[in-house]
Amino acid sequence: MLAPLIALTIGVVVWKLVASGQTFVPAFAGLLSGATVKRGPFSVFSGRSYATGQFRGRDVAIRLQLRRGEYEVGYLVIAVRTRGPEKLDANGIETYTRDEAGKRALFDIAARDLLLTVEDGWLKTMWQPVGFTTFPGPFTEEKWRPVLEAMQVVASSLEAAC
């Protein structure tokens, strides 16, 4: 009698963790205009989902990879299109970002333990939590809208510097 109850409890906990990962990208896409969420037919098993859209007139792409194996790590990539340099590391971004708004935005991003790069005209950041956390956890607009806003400011700053 006790074994089925324990199994049911474990099943509910596992389902809650999986369900929060499946709802994160659609909730994040709510911050974008013209958003499209893309998931394959086996995304529950692969843990991959994508969203594209625009934030303040700028193209944005999001990729979420949930942890699915013992040696796999989950991550979230947020990419914002920029017409600035095609490729920069974090130091290059800091060098090109000269205006005060851009410097504040870089500070805000760094305060969230995020690192920026530019690859193929996309300003990217990757969030990969360390330690025991529920990844990605519930989506909160208060946490992620400022990241998009700061990335938009940095992208504009990079464009102005070129």
Q: What is the mean pLDDT of the chain?
A: 86
The predicted structure's pLDDT at residue 152: 97
Map tokens 């099943």 to a residue: 11
The predicted structure's pLDDT at residue 13: 57
Domains and CATH numbers, the chain: 2-161 (3.30.1460)
Q: Does the structure show a pLDDT above 70 at 12?
A: no
pLDDT tens profile 32-77: 999 999 987 766 677 889 999 999 999 999 999 887 767 778 899 9
pTM of the prediction? 0.82
